[in-house]
Amino acid sequence: MADRRILLVGTYDTKDDELTYIAEVLRRQGGGVVTMDVSVLGAAAGPVDVTKHQVAEAAGSSIAEAIAAGDENFAMQVMARGASVLAARMYGEGAFNGVLVLGGTMGTDLALDVCSALPLGVPKYIVSTVAFSPLIPAARLPADIQMILWAGGLYGLNSVCKASLSQAAGAVLGAARAVERPDRRKPLIGMTSFGKSFLTYMVRLKPELEARGFEVAVFHATGMGGRAFESLAAQGAFACVFDFATQEVGNHINGSAITAGADRLTAAGLAGTPQIVAPGCYDLVDLVGWQPLPVALEGLAGHAHNRLLTSVVLDVPRRRIVAQALAERLAQARGPSAFVLPLGGCHALDRAGADLHDAEGISAFAEAMRGLCPQAVVLHETEAHINDAGFCDLVLQIFDDWCARGLVARG
């Protein structure tokens, strides 16, 4: 008996040799295989566990309809919908423990949907000819996706592509054996932050919250971290959120590639999850350090964090625009919401006397937030800096009050 089963997805009419090879590697390692065919035009060379007809039917369509459309994009989207529905259903029934999808651009497009349909903690591997390519938008990537480049694998097996295929097979099976799924016995708090060189509140807050019986997950708000945070918030995974590094909102509206999307700072509110929000690093726009500075941001003061990431400091008009964007997102909240405004500054470099301190900018942002903060959101001000104990004390006071009033679920 195989100890773990892997759902192996691909077009078995054109990539049967590669998929069969992967299945053989999995079985040699003691794993089980569940095969799903997402072909449209051709037939699988051998029997599969989930046929292409079953996939199309799960999408409310048929192979005949997909072919009749005469549009390969339409056809593959039918298969993507069906494969996603079936994968989620089958996983819920315990049919497999991890998934591996093989493909070029078509297969990768489908693979991203299939992996997104599965919960956090399910091993998700994509072997793709376009892995790590700019063709793949960050918004399509699930929080725990793994990819490997299918080098030399466009047509047929060879020793080059076998290296990638066998690694992927071993990786997904090993992950399925080793993974520790999220423990839902404790209520979870989602917190956003940056590293301790900029923000340090989590150092004090995490043990305090754990002592109150909560688990704390801190998300690095550099685009992908914010996407993972928003994705889990949309699923209702958090008992409460401490969203204190909202810089990704400013990144997005200022055109940075380091973005968590237009819906950043909305998922928790729309889900009705209690949220305490603060504007950590709101005055900075993070940019890809090795790319030219956008023309619209030229002339602003900057800070090179490393060779990958650099920041520019927003001027007063742009800070007011960020305040408006934060307020618009907070206005969508359906649950208890508080906004904490640290008048002493919002990251390590904007304290009085620090390199990026701008007293006029801090004052202008505070004034804008006072005028724009939605009526349903309780605005709390503190003279403290966001990294000061006073900020953490205020946050814990708000949180403890919500817990006492039963606004935060304890599981």
- Same domain (yes/no): 29, 72: yes
State the pLDDT at residue 410: 82
Angle between helix 359-372 and 316-330 (nearest 10): 30
Please tell me whether residues 197 and 158 are part of one structural domain: no
CATH number at residue 133: 3.40.50.12020
Domain with 79 in it: 5-178
Cα separation, 370 vs 376, in Å, equals 13
Residue-wise pLDDT tens digits, 12-58: 999 999 999 999 999 999 999 999 999 999 999 899 999 999 999 99
Q: Is the pLDDT confidence value at 143 over 90?
A: no
Query: How many other C-beta atoms are found inside a 10 Å radius of the C-beta of residue 71?
Result: 11
Q: Give the per-residue pLDDT at 183.
A: 77
> Is residue 317 in some structural domain?
yes
| Same domain, residue pair 116 and 197 | no
Q: Give the CA angle between residues 144, 148, 150 to the nearest 5°.
A: 150
Split at pLDDT 50, 70, 90, the class of 388 is very high
Q: Which pTM was predicted?
A: 0.87
Determine phi and psi for 284, rounding to 5 degrees.
-110, 145
- Whether 79 and 211 map to the same domain: the answer is no
400-406 mean pLDDT: 97
Whether 392 and 263 map to the same domain: the answer is yes
Q: What is the pLDDT of residue 81?
A: 98
Q: Is 409 part of any domain?
A: no
Cα dihedral angle (234, 236, 237, 240), rounded to 10 degrees? 100
In a domain, 256, yes or no: yes
C-alpha span between 346 and 382 (Å, rounded) = 12
Which pLDDT score is estimated for 64? Answer: 96
Regarding whether 283 and 209 lie in a shared domain, the answer is yes
Same domain membership, residue 95 and residue 47 = yes
The whole-number pLDDT of residue 192 equals 97
Chain segment 118-140, per-residue pLDDT in tens? 988 899 999 999 998 889 888 88
